Amino acid sequence: MSTATAHPNIALAKYWGKRDERLILPATGSLSMTLDVFPTTTTVSLTDADEDSVVLDGETLTSDEAARVTTVLDLVREASGRREYAAVSSTNTVPTAAGLASSAAAFAALATAAADAYGLSADGALLSRLARRGSGSACRSIFGGLVRWNAGDSDDTSFAEPLAWAGPDLGMVVAVVSSARKSVSSREAMRRTIATSPYFPAWVESNAALLEQMSIAVDAGDFTLLGELTEQSALRMHASMFGAVPPVRYLTAASIALFDAVGELRASGLECYATADAGPNVKVLCRADDAQAVSNRLAEIVPNAEYRVAHTGTGARLVEEEAE
Ligand code: 2P0
């Protein structure tokens, strides 16, 4: 029996669109910050049952719902040369209202626990590749701090790596404006953007270039450039979705109000930058020292949101079982 824990990550340079759906190879690389809040903990036990079972927050998933978990387990079985099925049990601490994607933390924890349970000796790159097959963004949650997912062009070459950040400690304020379930999954929304948006090719070309600039900003510890590129990547990603038919519009009036509020804070000398993913909630990148002030000021300007302050967190890791 092996247990692992992992945290969600927020992309600063976004991943949006796949060049290969089955292998989950992205159209471009991406760069993220792993958070120190909302960990997922997952236990994998080998069983003599005749199929895998998956329990999420106490609820048993159907085999359809568990298909992505089984995909990762099949890969770990293949790599380890073992055949036993597994019982997987996972606990999420993301409050449902937080609207933060939990799949990244979930599949990073799963890959880490499953590799250990099956006796597969796996380095970070292999764990990242295994997590990727469950959910693309999960490959980044294997590592802590700032992380770059190199797009690669094959299963072997598409994985994440941790980056050395020479700048000030980072903070992220999560602004939750809605806890409603999203109407279009990100997987479906990516497909639709690729198939119908005239802006998708421009998104791919511009984000690949932006990622290289952002990597230079990370090397240099340049917080201002990191932040400016973060907002650009988010808005360009959403612009590519606006161009889809029918359009994919995750941003609401409240999201836009938060982007405006972040601009106001910047103008007043409190440096921070907004980003948003496949939903209306907004995440605000800032210096760790400013995070509480950013949260307080945003709450004054946009009171109809819930705020949570986060910092950079650690990557996926095995946890010792408590002694009976
Ligand atoms: C990201 N998102 O880079 C981007 C930005 C949402 C917007 O990765 O289909 O759950 O499992 O590979 O990773 C959300 O998509 O998608 C995501 P799949 P995933 O964080």
Tell me the average pLDDT across 146-162: 98
Domain that holds residue 40: 2-165
Tens-place pLDDT, residues 131-153: 999 999 999 999 999 999 999 99
Which residue minimizes the CA distance to atom 9 of ligand 1?
187
- Alpha carbon of 278 to ligand 1 centroid (Å): 8
| Residues 149, 9 within the same domain | yes
| Residue 79 within a domain | yes
Mutate-to-test residue for ligand 1 from 137, 235, 275, highest number of ligand atoms within 8 A of CB: 137
- Domain holding 12: CATH number? 3.30.230.10
Model confidence at 182: pLDDT above 80: no
Select from 118, 145, 165 the last residue of a domain. 165
178 pLDDT above the threshold of 90: no
User: Is 141 within the bounds of a domain?
Assistant: yes
For residues 243 and 272, the answer to whether their CB atoms sit within 8 Å is no
Alpha-carbon gap, residue 281 to 81, rounded angstroms = 43
Indicate whether 160 and 276 sit together in one domain: no
Task: Say yes or no: 13 and 158 in one domain.
Answer: yes
Domain membership flag for residue 242: yes
**50-65: average pLDDT:** 93
Nearest CA to ligand 1 atom 20: 11
Q: Which atom of ligand 1 is nearest to the CA of 190?
A: 9
The answer to whether residues 230 and 153 belong to one domain is no
Residue that finishes a domain, picked among 131, 165, 199: 165
Are 121 and 27 found together in one domain? yes
Span 79-99, average pLDDT: 85
| Same domain assignment for residues 57 and 196 | no
Looking at every residue in the chain, the average pLDDT score rounds to 95
Among 94, 277, 283, which is best to mutate for testing ligand 1, by the most ligand atoms less than 8 A from CB?
277
Question: Does residue 317 belong to any structural domain of this protein?
Answer: no
Q: Are residues 217 and 245 in the same domain?
A: yes
In this structure, the answer to whether residues 159 and 20 fall within a common structural domain is: yes
**Residue 138, domain member (yes or no):** yes
Q: Give 213-235 pLDDT, tens digit per residue.
A: 999 999 999 999 999 999 999 99
Cα 277 to its chain centre, rounded Å, is: 9
Q: Which residues form the pocket of ligand 1, taking CB atoms under 6 Å from any ligand atom? A: 11, 14-16, 24, 30, 101, 103, 135-137, 186-187, 277-278
Q: What are the C-alpha distances in Å from 22 to residues 27, 129, 134, 161, 189?
A: 13, 13, 10, 22, 16
- 102 & 180 share domain: no
Residue 193 located in a structural domain: yes
Assess whether pLDDT exceeds 70 at residue 122: yes
What is the reported pLDDT for 3?
Answer: 98
Residues 293 and 181 in one domain: yes
66 and 150 share a domain? yes
**Domain presence at residue 83:** yes
- What pLDDT sits at residue 54? 97
Q: Is residue 180 part of a domain?
A: yes
Q: What integer is the mean pLDDT of 93-106?
A: 74
Q: How many domains does the chain have?
A: 2
Which three-class secondary structure state does DSSP give residue 53?
A: strand
Rounded Cα gap, residues 247 and 230, in angstroms: 23
- Across the range 275-287, mean pLDDT stands at 96
Taking the C-alpha atoms of residue 203 and residue 241, their distance in angstroms, rounded to an integer, is 10
Q: Are residues 248 and 99 in the same domain?
A: no
Domain-terminating residue out of 148, 165, 182? 165
CATH number at residue 221: 3.30.70.890
